[in-house]
Structure 1
Amino acid sequence: MTHDKINESGSIEATRICLERGDSIAVLIYETDTDSFLFTKQFRYPSARRNHPWMLELVAGSVEEGENPMDCAQREIEEEIGYETNELELITTYFPSPGGCSEQIHLYYTEVNSSQKTLKGGGAVSEKEDIELIKIKCNDIKKQLDEGAFNNSISLIGIQWYLLNKIKD
């Protein structure tokens, strides 16, 4: 590939590798009647290779070809934790690893209450998912963040967004 130089005239010709991954969604979910955030806990092979097999993370998933990211988010919420929701607020869309991957993550926020848990959740059997729903009280979230309970960018960005934008001083 060839691209222009930033501060000089001319161009650079180089070989680059790009994993064409497709886009993903993630959703920070706040359950209002329990004053809790809803997370998933599941096995992740890449992190298991670094001695962290179980990840505490936001509901997340891959956007299927032709699927709207918001529709994907609602589907993943139902599949992974069994809640139904209609209203999603887009926090941001970003590249988690722009040096080597084409994936963009569409990060959302939503509020639910416990009556909206109408399905079992636990993940899609066809995808061999085994997901546990974890609730963390709002007043414990900063402590959990500070203690390193979250070691993935999706969760870190979502929680920090909440702390910066939704917590009233």
Structure 2
Amino acid sequence: MDGTAGRVRIVDVEVLSDDWYVLKKTTFDYRRADGSWQRQSRETYDRGNGATLLLYDPRRRTVVLTRQFRLPAFVNGHHGMLIEAPAGLLEAASPKERIRAEVEEETGYRVHEVRKVFEAFMSPGSVTEKLHFFVAEYDALAKVGTGGGLADEGEDIEVLELPVDQALAMIERGEIVDGKTIMLLQYARLNLLHA
């Protein structure tokens, strides 16, 4: 916690909702750069940390993504069908364990060698989640199922295999608007799938 020791004093924490995940209102005192203290109040949404992974085939220059309905995007004026890299919440698993399981559930591909490339807070102004980003190579032999997610979790996922250049063009056209997916595709463009 570089730079915050002695600068934050929690005054009160109120749980506003604990239905799906936890929404809290925290009142705290924050010492500003000029030394004065300011009382602030913020709501935070705690859904736990997560992991995401981009499957890529360097020989064929393809990636595997998913398409599924996302209610928050829908209520914000989008049609709701987002194209994304597979992802999931860690729950009690390690990031590597969880992402391997999520990739198989969502895409039908079993991956063994996954490489962590970075971590990021995706919406740190209100959401506590830290996301672990991974990449892994795949080929036809890694396909062990149909994917599609878990119906009992409300998942209805379409699996997409796309040329990486097409996926990158879909970002430019506004067809891929999911932040984690854009980050992973840009990482692949810079580090994995050079032209």
What is the CA–CA distance in structure 1 between the aligned matches of 2:59 and 2:66, rounded to whole Å?
A: 19
Structure whose CA Rg is larger: 2
For 1:78, the equivalent position in structure 2 comes to 104
| Length-normalised TM-score, structure 2 | 0.80
Q: Does residue 106 in structure 1 map to residue 132 in structure 2? A: yes
What is the CA–CA distance in structure 2 between the aligned matches of 1:137 and 1:162, rounded to whole Å?
A: 12
Unaligned runs of at least 5 residues, structure 2: 1-27
Contact 1:27 1:59 in 2 (8 A): yes
SS at match of 2:46: coil
What is the CA–CA distance in structure 2 between the aligned matches of 1:147 and 1:85, rounded to whole Å?
A: 30
State the 1:2 CA deviation.
Answer: 1.5
What is the CA–CA distance in structure 1 between the aligned matches of 2:164 and 2:50, rounded to whole Å?
A: 26
For 2:83, the equivalent position in structure 1 comes to 56
State the AA in 1 paired with 2:56. Y
| Length-normalised TM-score, structure 1 | 0.92
SS at match of 1:15: strand
Unaligned runs of at least 5 residues, structure 1: none
State the 1:120 CA deviation.
Answer: 2.2
Q: Deviations over 1:119-164 (max 9, x none)?
A: 2211012201000101111232332222122111101111111112
What is the CA–CA distance in structure 2 between the aligned matches of 1:34 and 1:133, rounded to whole Å?
A: 17
Q: Does residue 163 in structure 1 map to residue 189 in structure 2? A: yes
Q: How many residues align?
A: 167
Match 2:56 to one of 19, 30, 38: 30
**Cα distance, 1:31–1:46 mapped onto 2, change above 3 Å:** same
SS at match of 2:136: strand
Contact 2:58 2:192 in 1 (8 A): no
Contact 2:61 2:193 in 1 (8 A): no
What is the CA–CA distance in structure 1 between the aligned matches of 2:103 and 2:53, rounded to whole Å?
A: 8
SS at match of 1:149: coil
For 2:166, the equivalent position in structure 1 comes to 140
Q: Does residue 68 in structure 1 map to residue 65 in structure 2? A: no
For 2:23, the equivalent position in structure 1 comes to none
Task: Report which of the two has the higher share of strand.
Answer: 2
